[in-house]
Every structure is written in C-alpha cells, then in structure tokens.
Amino acid sequence: ETGVTQSPTHLIKTRGQQVTLRCSSQSGHNTVSWYQQALGQGPQFIFQYYREEENGRGNFPPRFSGLQFPNYSSELNVNALELDDSALYLCASSRDSAGEETQYFGPGTRLLVL
C-alpha cells in the first residue's frame, strides 16, 4: 500500500509569486485535505476535496485554491504569495469525507516566502 506523497519537499519563492503544491493520496482513499502549519503551531485546515469537488473550507482567502483529479491526487495553488504564507503545507488523505475516518498525512512541503 502506497502512502501519501507530496512534492516538492522544499520550495523558496518571493512575495507576489504563485506556487503549486502536489499530493498523491494513499491507495483506496478518495478524500484529500490540505493544512497549513506555521512554526510552533498545530496544522490549520485550508480545504478538503472529495470526488473532485471542494467539500469544506477553512478561514483562508480565495488566493488559496485547489483541485482534485480523477485519480484522487490533488493540487494546492497559492497566488500572490505573502511572507506569512511561509509554512509547512500538509496533505492528508482518508477513505471518505464522513469525518470519522482517520486522516493519513504526507511528509509535507516546506514553503519559504522571501
């Protein structure tokens, strides 16, 4: 069974640029959630995708957007990067969106915005 994978592992961007982060869900999982984790804090929910549709969104501005593909992999796009967007971005997959299912996390992408 393949676990959750993310790419790239690290990324450095400058303010105003755009970034795309990628996630492949664990086999058999159809739901992908994205989280932002700033240093010293717990992960904060960005949004969730279930069967290619957004299925819930946290308190993040519209410049954070996403996609889910038919194979359940997903992308997180962030436009007009700000310094505060520097964080670890985590993707988690689960078997369904019902909420009781455990979420399994990928290793994350570390984004640094200069």
Partner 1 sequence: RKEVEQDPGPFNVPEGATVAFNCTYSNSASQSFFWYRQDCRKEPKLLMSVYSSGNEDGRFTAQLNRASQYISLLIRDSKLSDSATYLCVGNNYGQNFVFGPGTRLSVLP
Q: What is the DSSP letter of 83?
A: G
Nearest by Cα to 48 from 98, 88, 86, 85 = 98
Q: Which of residues 74-103 bind partner 1 (CB under 8 A)?
A: 90, 92, 97-100, 102-103
- The reply on whether position 106 binds partner 1 by CB under 8 A is yes
User: Shortest distance, CB of residue 50 to partner 1, whole angstroms?
Assistant: 10
- The reply on whether position 104 binds partner 1 by CB under 8 A is yes
User: Shortest distance, CB of residue 58 to partner 1, whole angstroms?
Assistant: 7
Handedness of CA 38, 43, 45, 47 (dihedral sign): positive
Q: Which of residues 24-83 bind partner 1 (CB under 8 A)?
A: 33, 35, 40-45, 48, 56, 58
Residue 27: is it exposed, middle or buried by C-beta count within 10 angstroms (0-12/13-18/19+)? exposed
